[in-house]
Amino acid sequence: MWKTILRRILIMIPEIIILSIIVFLLAKAMPGDPFTGSINPRAGVAQIHHLMEVNGLYDPWYQQYWNWVVHLFHGNLGESYQYNEPVTRIIGQRAVNTLWLSLFTVVLTYLIALPMGIYAGRHEGKLPDTVIRFYTYVTYCIPFFVILVLGIWIFGYVLGWFPTTGSVSPTANGTFATIGSRFYHMLLPGILGALFGTVNIVQYLRSEVVDAKSSDYVRTARAKGVPINDIYRHHIFRNSLLPIAAFAGYSITGLLNGAIFTESVFSYPGMGLLFVNSISYRDYTVITALVLLFGILNIFGTLLSDIILSIVDPRIRIE
Amino acid sequence: MATEKILDVRDVSTAFKIDGHFYDAVTHVNLQIKKDEILAIVGESGCGKSTLATTIMGLHDPAETKISGEIDFEGTNLVGLPEDKYNKIRGAKIGMIFQDPLSSLNPLKRVEDQIKEVMDYHTDLSSEKKHARVIELLSQMGIVNPERTAHQFPHELSGGMRQRVVIAIAIACKPDLLIADEPTTALDVTIQAQILDVLLNIQKENHAGIVLITHDLGVVAQTADKVAVMYAGQIVEYGSTKQIFKTPKHPYTRSLLRSIPQLGGESDDLYVISGNVPSLQKMPASGDRFASRIPWIPASDHEKNPQMHEVSSGHLVRCTCYKSFYFPDQKKKKVANELN
Amino acid sequence: MSLIEINNLKVHYPIRSGFFNRVTDSVKAVDGISFNIEKGQTYGLVGESGSGKSTTGKSVVGLEKVTSGSILYNGVDITSEKNRKKLNYNRDVQMIFQDSLSSLNPRKRIEDIIAEPLRNFEHLSKNEEKMRVLRLLDIVGLSVDALYQYPHQFSGGQRQRIGIARAVATNPKLIVADEPVSALDLSVQAQVLNFMKKIQREFGITYLFISHDLGVVRHMCNNIAIMNKGRLVEVGSRDDIYNHPLHIYTKRLLAAIPQIDVDHREEHREKRLQIEKIYQEQSSKYYDQNGLAYPLVKVSSMHSVALPPQEAKKYSEKEVEV
């Protein structure tokens, strides 16, 4: 198995190289430049030309790409044009925020989704199932950003229960107060993200439970004289959770996509918001670094899913 | 005692709910099984033989099915028995073997755990004793390396091996009654022969009664003591294996036997029963259910409300039409004349 | 000339493993088999699951990539796609499958299902096409109403007949029938088998009949090949196979069939156990060191058996004497 994992990682190398070239070229293909608008408006065209030249932006693309790769291997992703700070440091700060928010959302998602999916599946066709299915359909139909905006308006603005921007209150003093404030800021985006994220899992889990209920091995268990509650515990739940467990790897990618919406709407200083801002400022170094990071995480997520699946399902072996 | 009656099915009907109405899948069935006896229930798909088995096992959802009559199992009436009491009987006193051995086993559990599970609920053996019993059972099934098989997952086994595991589960607690629903249909003929041998050997040791449900008349002829032929939810003929195969009476039994491609004969055309089995919803409310498949027999030869008639000791046939039944391609001679 | 001549057909599937995912071994699904199918006959190919009989059938239809060997159809090798196209082979050779429900598109009406091969190979007007479909329905004994119905509205036997109607639509010369009746009840099976024989008489169709059921094969086939682990163990006429089997595997298969004969069941059982014992104890005599069958040796004009080299010599010497 380790051999295969190693081989999969080696295969990822050309994937990442191709990905990085595409990302690099796409970023360059965007119209505009990083300097117009960010320096003194009275600065002439000549000065912008000068800045472009100094930063090597007039070199042929392969030259620029090569320079970028060489720097990359020195752990240097360049400097942000927007913030005049090393890209690594900027992303590092935001990554921590995104990581905490994502982790919180994931835990919350599974805490809500698993009991709901199992309950709906077990009581298929009864009232609780109908209510849960109604909830999933409604949530599924509403676009994510509408949920976010509605959530902010109701809970942040009308009711005023939660903060609507930022990741921590500037007035928070002391370690505990800071942690408390951070958690308080994560609550609303986390809950809204989780509510949206549950839909797929609930629907999937429900149908898995419904299928498992009428499966032949459950019939065998009944013929053994196993009480129905034990059949749920020992057979149905475990077998239905299997594909959900395998989802975990993929959910990393899903969360990053979600972060772009959530962080923009909540002005939450994470990687999603950074990404959106960098695009509008043509902050090439940040964009390329972020897209590359997302891409690598994506590839790792897929690998992780395969590994998890091979661990939990004896029928699947990575060889 | 060798002739002890273990199961007495009296006037049992099972109805399924379809679009709010109940339709009979099994109608007024009567059966008895003794120790050491193999009763075969034969019939084509949709005749109700599997439904009868799952009715005895109590595997139907009470909200979707209506069961009437009485199933006397060693003095307990199983019809309407509460789940917790049923769970004491299932697996312990009645074991069941299913058709598809792959889907009948949990794909995520090792063979050993699946066999142990039935002992967990019906015995208070220690873990070591249970393990010993698993190994004993698997060897009894003719598995050469039981320790290895016990540690494997179902997908790692061949079809024949899986079915041995399913049988091991069914007999782990030495039940008095074994219900085998098409136990060899999914298997190759050579494996089928081995599995049937295993079943017969178990019976010699455990003295269980076996209900063998199958559509394969060859399997019946080679293994059963008694045979019940089912058509459209009813038993149409009942008797010893010899009676059924050597002097079949009911038109359906006779038709089935005639449609087998025989190893002996190479006649050019096989006999075909005209028409189709009526679906549950379209079952005629009264009269002989097989009448529409033998339209050349006049209605007056059928009973209005067909009953079982004893034609010889222990040989029962439904409806009087058997007396005048003949195949259209044969010369029109009465069955009665044939017998004389 | 035989309609189909299969020469040393091999279908191997590669097994990849190791760090560089190289081909390290192969599954030999079909491992060098040869037989001929005569025009207008029903040729039986018998074997247990995993014997390679279905793979052979698919190779004959052109659905399987052949590793080596040839399949001659009227003398032309059809293992190459170019030749198949040139001959319009896929019009002349059709297939019937075991599972009639999954082999018919559930979203298509019967009219479209039966007309599909016509649309592929013959350019008929709407009217002509309809007439052909109606005639086909009539041949398989289904009413006109069936035209606008969907597969799930029919019983297993009716669906199998629809599958046959589709197969015979283009007036094929050869039909490969892969377990055509194994999923059917006895009475329906009889119906389908009678029907297959009827269209054979009427249209002179040749069948390659693949089955594990020796009773059905005996009823249907003139010549029979027994397949075991990718190789043929015995080939012969119906009489050779059923009355004078020579290979232990054939004997074992025949002995395993449950007989209807109630009176002699103990004898059957003993005979079967006896053959099983020989099979288990003397398998090295009948199979080579890899557990595979030896090459076929001719023991009479029609009858060939996979015999070990020393026994094979006996037969070849005999031939010399004659």
Q: Which residues of A touch B108 (CB under 8 A)?
A: 238-239, 242, 313-314
pLDDT at B74 over 70: yes
Q: Which residues of C touch B218 (CB under 8 A)?
A: 215, 257-260
pLDDT at B337 over 70: no
Interface confidence, given as ipTM, is: 0.87
C281: confidence class by pLDDT, cuts 50, 70, 90: confident
Residue C321 lies in a domain: no
Q: Is A41 on the interface with B (CB under 8 A)?
A: no
Say which residues have a Cβ less than 8 Å from residue B21's Cβ, sequence separation at least 6: B281
Q: For C16-37, write each residue's pLDDT tens digit.
A: 776 667 777 888 899 999 999 9
CA dihedral in degrees (A149, A153, A154, A155; nearest 10)? 90
For A210, B49, C187, C195, the CA distances from B44, given in Å and listed in that order, are: 29, 9, 8, 20
Assigned token pair, A286: 């940040």
Assigned token pair, A185: 């800021």
pTM of the shown model: 0.84
Residue whose entry in the numeric block shows the structure tokens 């065209």 = A45
In chain A, domain spans: 96-283
Under a CB-based contact definition with an 8 Å cutoff, are residues A303 and A249 in contact?
Answer: yes
In the sheet where C68-73 sits, what is the strand order?
C22-37, C4-17, C68-73, C76-77
| A-B contacts (CB, under 8 Å) | 75
- In this prediction, residue B236 carries a pLDDT of 95
Q: For C52-109, write each residue's pLDDT tens digit.
A: 999 999 999 999 899 999 999 999 999 988 889 888 898 899 998 887 777 888 889 9
Cβ neighbourhood burial of C66 (10 Å; 0-12, 13-18, 19+): buried
Which residues between 204 and 233 in chain C have a beta carbon less than 8 angstroms from any beta carbon of chain B?
212, 214-216, 218-220
Side chain identity, residue C70? S
Pairwise CA distance, residues B109 & B126, whole Å: 20
- HSE-up of residue B128 (Cα within 13 Å, Cβ side): 0
**Average predicted confidence (pLDDT) for chain B:** 89
Residue C302 lies in a domain: no
Residue C294 lies in a domain: no
In chain B, domain spans: 240-302+321-339
Question: Best mutation site among B190, B225, B255 for testing chain C: the one with the most C CBs within 10 Å?
Answer: B190
In tens digits, chain A (319 residues) has pLDDT values of 677 778 778 887 888 888 878 877 877 777 666 665 555 656 667 777 776 676 666 677 777 788 777 877 776 777 777 777 777 788 888 888 888 888 888 888 889 899 999 999 999 888 989 999 998 888 888 887 888 888 888 887 788 787 777 777 667 677 777 777 777 777 888 888 888 888 888 998 999 999 999 899 999 999 999 999 999 999 998 889 888 887 777 776 777 777 788 888 888 888 888 888 888 877 777 887 888 888 888 878 888 888 888 888 888 766 5
Distance from the C22 Cα atom to the nearest Cα atom in chain A, whole angstroms: 13
Q: Which residues of A touch B170 (CB under 8 A)?
A: 223
Residue C126 lies in a domain: yes
Q: How many domains does chain C have?
A: 1
Cβ neighbourhood burial of B263 (10 Å; 0-12, 13-18, 19+): middle
Q: For B8-53, write each residue's pLDDT tens digit.
A: 999 999 999 888 889 999 999 999 999 999 999 999 888 899 999 9
Q: Is C24 on the interface with A (CB under 8 A)?
A: no
Are A220 and B83 a contacting pair at CB < 8 A?
Answer: no
Give the residue from C189, C190, C195 showing the smallest Cα distance to C164.
C195
Q: Which residues of A touch B121 (CB under 8 A)?
A: 224-227
Pairwise CA distance, residues C83 & C81, whole Å: 5
Chains in contact with chain C (at least 3 beta-carbon pairs closer than 8 A): A, B
Side chain identity, residue B126? S
Are A224 and B118 a contacting pair at CB < 8 A?
Answer: yes
* Closest residue in chain A to residue C15, using alpha carbons only: A319
* Closest residue in chain C to residue A2, using alpha carbons only: C19
Distance from the A319 Cα atom to the nearest Cα atom in chain C, whole angstroms: 7
Are B121 and A226 a contacting pair at CB < 8 A?
Answer: yes
Could you tell me how far CA B100 lies from the centroid of its own chain?
15
Phi, psi of B118 (to 5 degrees): -65, -30
The whole-number average pLDDT for the span C116-127 is 86
Residue C306 lies in a domain: no
User: For the domain that residue C125 is a member of, what is the CATH number?
Assistant: 3.40.50.300
For B113, B126, C7, the CA distances from A234, given in Å and listed in that order, are: 11, 20, 54
Q: For B56-73, write each residue's pLDDT tens digit.
A: 999 998 888 999 999 999
What residue numbers bound the domain in which C163 lies? 36-66+74-237
Pairwise CA distance, residues A145 & C191, whole Å: 62
Q: Is C4 on the interface with B (CB under 8 A)?
A: no
Q: Is B85 on the interface with A (CB under 8 A)?
A: no
Are B222 and C259 a contacting pair at CB < 8 A?
Answer: yes
CA dihedral in degrees (C206, C211, C216, C219; nearest 10)? 30
Are C194 and B269 a contacting pair at CB < 8 A?
Answer: yes
Under a CB-based contact definition with an 8 Å cutoff, are residues B41 and B236 in contact?
Answer: no
Are C185 and B190 a contacting pair at CB < 8 A?
Answer: no
Q: For C288-316, write each residue's pLDDT tens digit.
A: 888 888 889 888 888 999 988 887 777 76
Distance from the C24 Cα atom to the nearest Cα atom in chain A, whole angstroms: 13
Pairwise CA distance, residues C194 & B271, whole Å: 9
Under a CB-based contact definition with an 8 Å cutoff, are residues B155 and B111 in contact?
Answer: no
Side chain identity, residue C286? Y
* Three-state secondary-structure class, residue A302: helix
Side chain identity, residue C213? D
Q: Is C271 on the interface with B (CB under 8 A)?
A: no
Largest distance between two CA atoms of chain A: 86
**In this complex, which of A215, A219, A226 lies closest to B59 when CB atoms are compared?**
A219
Are C19 and A7 a contacting pair at CB < 8 A?
Answer: yes
CATH code linked to domain A96-283: 1.10.3720.10
Are C19 and A3 a contacting pair at CB < 8 A?
Answer: yes
Pairwise CA distance, residues A66 & A69, whole Å: 5
Are C17 and A7 a contacting pair at CB < 8 A?
Answer: no
Question: Best mutation site among A123, A124, A224, A244 for testing chain B: the one with the most B CBs within 10 Å?
Answer: A224
For C8-41, give one letter per residue: b (16+ CB within 10 A) or e.
ebbbbeeeeeeeeeeeeeeebbbbbbbbbbeeeb
Which residues between 208 and 227 in chain A have a beta carbon less than 8 angstroms from any beta carbon of chain B?
215-217, 219-227
Say which residues have a Cβ less than 8 Å from residue A48's Cβ, sequence separation at least 6: A33, A35, A36, A39
